[in-house]
Amino acid sequence: MADVKMPKLSDTMEEGTVLEWKTQSGTEVKKGDVLAEVESDKASFEIEAEAEGVLQIVVDQGNPVPVGGLIARIGDGTAEAAAQAEPEAAGQDGRQAD
């Protein structure tokens, strides 16, 4: 699994904000695919996939993230499939039994 982190693009950059996800969570991505548009203190830029696999978004758009902070993961899709199965295992109404 490859982590997608907020890059540091200038000496003064302390955090960035995900303006828009260009790829949806659960989508198969290839190296070089544009994942998101991110805004720093001085400019906006695109983050590209550095690995191949299934994108799992960790941070919603509009949220600030510190430099080096995790914004997404690229893996084989098993972690996301397991996360989607958890509510089903909890019960039909989505709540766990007491």
Q: State the total domains in the chain.
A: 1
Please tell me the predicted confidence (pLDDT) of residue 31: 96
Please tell me the predicted confidence (pLDDT) of residue 89: 41
Provide CB contacts within 8 A for 93, sequence distance 6+. none
Going from the C-alpha of 92 to that of each of 36, 50, 85, 86, 98, the distances in angstroms are: 34, 38, 12, 11, 14
Estimate to the nearest angstrom the gap between the alpha carbon of 86 and the chain centroid. 20
* Residue 34, amino acid: V
Interval 47-70: pLDDT, tens = 999 999 999 999 999 999 999 999
CATH of the domain at 8: 2.40.50.100
Looking up tokens 């720093």 gives 40
Stretches where the chain sits below pLDDT 70 are: 78-98
Domain interval for residue 51: 2-89
Estimate to the nearest angstrom the gap between the alpha carbon of 97 and the chain centroid. 31
Say if 98 falls within a structural domain.
no
